[in-house]
Amino acid sequence: MKKVLYLILLLTNISIAQNKQYNLDPNGKNSNFHYLIKTYPNNAMEFRVKKDSGTVYQITAPLYETIKSNYDTISKILPQNKKLKVKDSTIFFIQYFYKNDRTFFNEKNQIEVNNSYFSNFIKEQKSIVERKYKNSKVIYMFENGIDISNYKKIDNFFVDENNYFRTNYFKKSILCGSFLIIKPNGQSLIRNGEYRLDQMAEHLNSKIWELFFESNSINNSEEEHKTE
């Protein structure tokens, strides 16, 4: 009996260790998750999976980033994956999902069948944005390694197979994903963390957009970011 109890306790401790969560402030100090969210409203929550299968959450990512995109490259890459019709004046709205984000995916990085967020909510968001901005395309982009086979028939679901967007735009894993607007002139705005696509679209208001780009100090390549 003692051996059985010992085995149960051992397996329980292993399970707890494998799912350990570390919550760190920008300086690497342990803290409370909800305290970090409230204390650093201008930061987003970055995460990474440790070798012990625990997850480190650290509120170090910028809330906003600006970047200069190569629009010609983007407009050629996206239609390669699916039959996506784009024009030279198309504005791209991209919502990016990161591997190992348990907000959306299970431990196998799969989208569960009948997930209401993917089945209903983001479809409604796409409809709202594309109806309001006639020259726009909404794209849901998934980091390579995420299994979207349960939703493969949805036309605007893309896997970042060659890691182009992960390498050039979304360099850190952000809890709840990231949002990106790419305009035909190359000006691009990233918003990290929990948000909604229709809220992101409001940044196209000229008064809001100019707050990010009026200085004309935006980077000249996709290799560098400017954080806000």
Name all domains of the chain by residue range, CATH numbers in brackets: 19-61 (no CATH), 64-227 (3.40.30)
Q: List the structure tokens of 29.
A: 């100090």
Whether the predicted pLDDT of 223 surpasses 90: no
Please enumerate in sequence order all residues whose Cβ is within 8 A of that of 220, keeping only pairs 6 or more positions apart, or say none.
68
211: its two tokens: 């707050």
Cα separation, 187 vs 149, whole angstroms = 33
Can you tell me the mean pLDDT for 66-77? 91
CB 104 within 8 A of CB 97: yes
pLDDT higher than threshold 50 for residue 11: no
Over residues 37-60, the mean pLDDT reads: 92
The pLDDT of residue 214:
79
Residue 153 confidence (pLDDT):
73
Which pLDDT score is estimated for 113? 82
Chain centroid offset of residue 111 CA: 15
Length of the chain equals 228
pLDDT at 17 exceeding the cut of 80: no
Taking only the tens place, the pLDDT of each residue in 119-165 is 899 999 999 999 999 899 999 999 999 999 888 777 789 999 899 99
* pLDDT, tens only, 84-114: 677 788 999 999 999 999 999 999 999 988 8
What's the confidence (pLDDT) of residue 20? Answer: 87
Q: Which residue has the higher pLDDT, 77 or 132?
A: 132
The residue with greater pLDDT, 77 or 167, is: 167
Residue 52: what pLDDT? 72
C-alpha separations of 141 from 18, 41, 166, 194 in Å: 29, 25, 10, 16
pLDDT of residue 6: 38
Question: In this model, does residue 13 exceed pLDDT 60?
Answer: no
Q: Label residue 14 by pLDDT band (50, 70, 90).
A: very low
CA-CA distance, 205 to 213, in Å (whole number)? 12
* pLDDT grade for 225, boundaries at 50, 70 and 90: low
> In whole angstroms, what is the distance from residue 135 CA to residue 71 CA?
15
CA distances from 228 to 16, 93, 164, 170 (A): 37, 19, 23, 15
Give tens-digit pLDDT for 161-204. Answer: 899 999 999 999 999 999 999 999 999 999 999 999 999 999 99
Which residues are CB-neighbours of 72 under 8 A, at least 6 positions away?
A: none
pLDDT at 227: 64
191-217 burial, b for 16+ CB within 10 Å, e for fewer? bbbebebeebbeebeeeebeebbeeee
User: Measuring CA to CA, which residue among 70, 58, 71 is closest to residue 24?
Assistant: 58
The predicted pLDDT at position 220 comes to 41
